[in-house]
């Protein structure tokens, strides 16, 4: 079973995605293209599996954020008997922004 991502914001500066995990649901193996911040919406436990198959369990607490660098590779699975959710905020580098767009600026009509 797959976790359900909902992209809430996707601009030149950042991408905000809400992730919802049914019990046992997982993201699937992936690599983070950008540095990111995770803000848990639920308190609970996630199983995090590295490409080499090593699994560690992480205890997350509602509202207690953490940050990871670009390049992190893993599969994340809900290890709880209840739904787990978090918001992921990916921070895009300045080089990915269209010319003339500065941090905090908005696009016309946006």
Q: How far is residue 59 from each of residues 40, 62, 69, 80, measured CA to CA in Å?
A: 10, 10, 19, 11
Note the pLDDT tens digit of each residue in 57-101. 999 999 999 999 999 999 999 999 999 999 999 999 986 555 554
- Select from 33, 19, 13, 34 the least CA-distant residue to 76: 19
Average pLDDT estimate for 22-38: 98
Residue 16 to residue 13: CA distance in whole angstroms: 10
For residue 42, the tally of other CB atoms under 10 A from its CB is 17
pLDDT of residue 15: 98
- pTM reported for the whole predicted model: 0.84
- Select from 77, 60, 74, 84 the least CA-distant residue to 1: 77
Residue 26 to residue 44: CA distance in whole angstroms: 14
Average pLDDT estimate for 24-42: 98
Q: Which two tokens stand for residue 19?
A: 């992730």
The three-class DSSP label of residue 105 is coil
User: Is residue 20 pLDDT above 50, yes or no?
Assistant: yes
User: Is residue 109 pLDDT above 50, yes or no?
Assistant: no
Domain at 4-94: CATH architecture: Sandwich (2.60)
Full DSSP string of 80-100 = SSS-EEEEEEEE--GGGSPTT
């Amino acid at each position: 079973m797959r976790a359900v991502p909902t992209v809430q914001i996707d601009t030149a500066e950042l991408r905000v995605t809400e992730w919802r995990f049914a019990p046992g649901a997982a993201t699937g193996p992936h690599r983070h293209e950008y540095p990111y911040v995770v803000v848990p919406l639920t308190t609970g436990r996630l199983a995090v599996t590295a490409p080499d198959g090593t699994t560690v369990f992480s205890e997350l607490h509602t509202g207690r954020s953490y940050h990871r660098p670009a390049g992190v590779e893993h599969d994340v699975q809900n290890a709880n008997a209840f739904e787990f959710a978090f918001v992921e905020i990916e921070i895009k580098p300045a080089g990915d922004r269209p010319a003339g767009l500065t941090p905090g600026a908005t696009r016309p009509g946006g």
